[in-house]
Amino acid sequence: MRVSRLMLVTLRESPADAEIASHQLLLRGGFIRRIGSGVYAYLPMMWRVLQRISTIVREEMDRSGALETLLPQLHPSELWERSGRWQGYTAGEGIMFHLEDRQGRQLGLGPTHEEVITSLAGDLLRSYRQLPVNLYQIQTKFRDEIRPRFGLMRGREFIMKDAYSFHATEADLRDTYAVMDQTYRRIFERCGLEAVPVDADSGAIGGAASQEFMVTADAGEDLILISDDGNYSANQEKAVSRPTDAVPLEAGSTQDISTPGQTSIQALCEAQGWHPSQIAKVLLLLTVLDDGSEQPVLVTLRGDQELNAVKLTNAVTHAQGQGVLDCRPITTDDIQRQGLDPVPFGFLGPDFGDQHLSGASSWSKTFLRFTDPTAADLTQFICGGNQSDLHRGPCSWDAIGADGAVVDLRNAQPGDRCVHNPSAQLEARRGIEVGHIFQLGRKYSQAMESRFTNEAGREEPFWMGCYGIGISRLAQAAVEQHHDDAGISWPAAIAPFEAVVVIANIQDEVQNDLGEALYQSLLNAGIDALLDDRKERAGVKFKDADLIGIPWRIVVGRDAATGQVELVRRRDRSMQTLDHSDALKQLLQALRPE
């Protein structure tokens, strides 16, 4: 390919709305263009990158025994209603684009395909003899993101590989899950990425177990916690740890303590000389459930701990038997809209009573109560007095008499001791999720009544797994992990081209002839090469070559008359001056090692 025919349009400055390096470089390098909020065009060089990634994914998925298919993007609402997810995905801040056709039928643009594939499996896979089956597709997906950002990292339209496996037994599901784990590791290694597998929350997809694959990068949206002994890693949403020991509080008779205006843990500790770990803090939150009902939640944590919203959502889902559409702190305005008496926020105790909800206009009349183990393990503690400017202490759980399920609801933190090894500590890294694998169990097959006949002749629901890779996100994650101050440095396996021949002065006949000869030799050797044949200054060509990140560059310049060229490796920008035949030989050895 010749640059003069490539439609290469590069930018010298980063667009104002591009916040992170990878987004800036893909725009500046002419790989993508923004069409609308969260919607991008993949320009020719980016499409080549995406095709290379897709090829690697296909090869490894086929190697694992999976079968490629292509499923519709437009989904009838009935399928999602059967699984119970239509309301959660379309109401309020749901992520599914949905529409009504001219016959009044509801349809959605698929953000994921569990419903479609499970319905098909129920029709096609009737016997245990047909199992296991693993079907995958590479497909454009849609998510109605509230705040699209970071280019392809969080867009409204994206390319994804998703696979779904069907099994007769849970043991067989676990076997395929392990195969997919190894398949994903090979995919990311072949793509030239450092990807860390971590324990993860299953989120809206659901299921018993899941694992994310994170590309480590400073711009990652996710905080991942990794043990310093290398034996544990998890997304903070899922991570568990041993909290630091609480500072003991001396026992004594419970007293009312005046705490005027001291509504925060920090203010209490500064004014009273307490340690945060000696305080039981109480949070009031409002959850909206799948059926539209509004359930107030009262959570008690130790004062030095942070609430993990994902763990809380999972606890509410388990307790209520249905999903959570929204979870947020209760505010004074909420209390007023419900027609309730004022709540002394900042002075609440674990025993704050349900009678405060008795006049609520739309909320449940009782709190759903949870206590984190860090608070439940306190033998003596300070807590709110349930009226403004008042706390109590020292208190005990027996004296307080508060109830509530004890559930891990805290954020694990860097520096915490590990559960598996108390002498190991957690360390923090930022990560970009590029893959996620799930053991779905029978969640979808039971809901959609997709069954097969087992060996005993009885019908039962399939065991299912789900395995996703963000193809377009992976491409940008590669840039985030592989760039420098001059531009992108693509891993060779997914680069749009493997090498570029730059003719410094296209008007020089000697340079032009040598450049053309080298370019043709690379093509003849099976190298996907680019020839910069533009009538531009050499400096412009060099800057563009660094920006677009082709792994190897041969520069044909003023020494062409003696057959000398420069061989530049983009990864470290190292340069050698070599005879053109030696440069060609060295380049071929690097790209096609025997």
Q: What is the pLDDT along the chain (594 residues), one digit of tens a residue?
A: 999 999 999 998 888 888 899 999 999 999 999 999 999 999 999 999 999 999 999 999 999 999 999 999 999 999 999 998 898 888 866 799 999 999 999 999 999 999 999 999 999 999 999 999 999 999 999 999 888 889 999 999 999 999 999 999 999 999 999 999 999 999 999 999 999 999 877 665 555 678 999 998 888 888 999 999 989 999 998 899 999 999 999 888 999 999 999 999 999 999 999 999 999 999 999 999 888 899 999 999 999 999 999 999 989 988 998 888 889 999 999 999 999 999 999 999 999 999 999 888 899 999 999 999 999 999 999 999 999 999 999 999 998 887 889 999 999 999 999 999 999 999 999 999 999 999 999 999 999 999 999 999 999 999 999 999 999 999 999 999 999 999 999 999 999 999 999 999 999 999 999 999 999 999 999 999 999 999 999 999 999 999 999 999 999 999 999 999 999 999 999 999 999 999 999 999 999 887
Q: Is 143 helix (H, G, I), strand (E, B) or coil?
A: coil
Q: What is the pTM of this model?
A: 0.86
Instruction: Identify residue 134 by its one-letter amino acid code.
Output: N
Q: Sort 38 into a burial class: Cβ within 10 Å, 0-12 / 13-18 / 19+.
A: buried
Q: Sort 375 into a burial class: Cβ within 10 Å, 0-12 / 13-18 / 19+.
A: buried
Q: Sort 588 into a burial class: Cβ within 10 Å, 0-12 / 13-18 / 19+.
A: middle
CB atoms under 10 Å from CB of 470, counted, come to 24
- Of the candidates 278, 312, 311, 318, the residue with the CA atom closest to the CA atom of residue 298: 312
Q: How far apart are CA 546 and CA 570, in angstroms?
A: 7
Q: Is 81 helix (H, G, I), strand (E, B) or coil?
A: helix
Whether the CB-CB separation of 476 and 549 falls below 8 Å is answered with no
What's the alpha-carbon Rg for the chain, to the nearest Å? 29
3-state secondary structure 97-142: CEEECCCCCEEEECCCCHHHHHHHHHHHCCEHHHCCEEEEEEEEEE
Q: How far apart are CA 145 and CA 156, in angstroms?
A: 6
Q: How far apart are CA 301 and CA 311, in angstroms?
A: 13
Query: At which residue do the structure tokens 């990560």 appear?
Result: 431
Q: Is 554 helix (H, G, I), strand (E, B) or coil?
A: strand
Ramachandran class of 339: left when φ > 0, alpha when ψ lies in -120 to 50, beta otherwise: left
Q: Sort 392 into a burial class: Cβ within 10 Å, 0-12 / 13-18 / 19+.
A: buried
